[in-house]
């Protein structure tokens, strides 16, 4: 790995860029149709924000201005989500969101839009976590087990 330093050496800062994790879902023979999450950390944060939004929307009576605020947040989260995905997944998201989008939604319609986006994003989160688990298990199998030495007092 570039940027790694041996004992007593300075790391090669110029060659060391930030590491990025890209999660690929499924296998595609056509690279232009691949389904990838290019920024899984952002997707996880968006999923958490969607959960909080759904919790607020579950209130029987929304406070004044809450629906408009939630609409703006939903639009912003959708845009952020699109930037975190491959073109194929972004197109799927855009199709999903445009089908349930209402210009001036009631609280119930906004709840449905949030639930739809939350459910779709939860599918991405499950795929991300599954791949992280598989990568972790593979790393554990490839790295030698640490040796423990017991010293007698």
| pLDDT single digits (tens) 74-100 | 999 999 999 999 888 999 999 888 876
99: containing domain? 67-131
The answer to whether 118 touches 46, Cβ cutoff 8 Å, is no
Q: Which residues, in sequence order, are bridge partners of residue 23?
A: 37
pLDDT band with cut points at 50, 70 and 90 for residue 25: confident
Residue 40 lies inside a defined structural domain of this protein = no
Joined tokens for residue 59: 């209130």
Count of domains observed in the chain: 1
End-to-end CA distance of the chain: 40
**Other Cβ atoms within 10 Å of 40 Cβ, number:** 21
Residue 142 in this model has a pLDDT that exceeds 80: no
Q: Phi and psi for 62 in degrees, rounded to 5?
A: -80, 140
Q: Is the whole-model pTM more than 0.85?
A: no
CA atoms of 80 and 45, how far apart (whole Å): 10
């Amino acid at each position: 790995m570039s940027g790694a330093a041996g004992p007593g050496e300075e790391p090669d800062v110029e060659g060391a860029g930030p590491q990025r994790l890209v999660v690929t879902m499924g296998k595609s023979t056509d690279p232009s149709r691949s389904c990838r999450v290019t920024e899984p950390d952002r997707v996880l944060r968006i999923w958490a924000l969607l959960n909080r939004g759904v919790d607020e929307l579950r209130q029987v009576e929304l406070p004044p201005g809450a629906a408009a605020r939630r609409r703006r947040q939903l639009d912003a989260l959708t845009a952020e989500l699109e930037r975190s995905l491959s073109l194929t997944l972004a197109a799927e998201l855009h199709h999903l969101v445009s089908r349930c989008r209402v210009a001036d939604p009631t609280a119930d319609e906004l709840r449905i839009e949030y639930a739809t986006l939350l459910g779709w994003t939860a599918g991405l989160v499950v795929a991300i976590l599954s791949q992280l688990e598989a990568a972790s298990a593979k790393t554990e199998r490839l790295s030698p087990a640490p040796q423990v030495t017991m010293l007698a007092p």
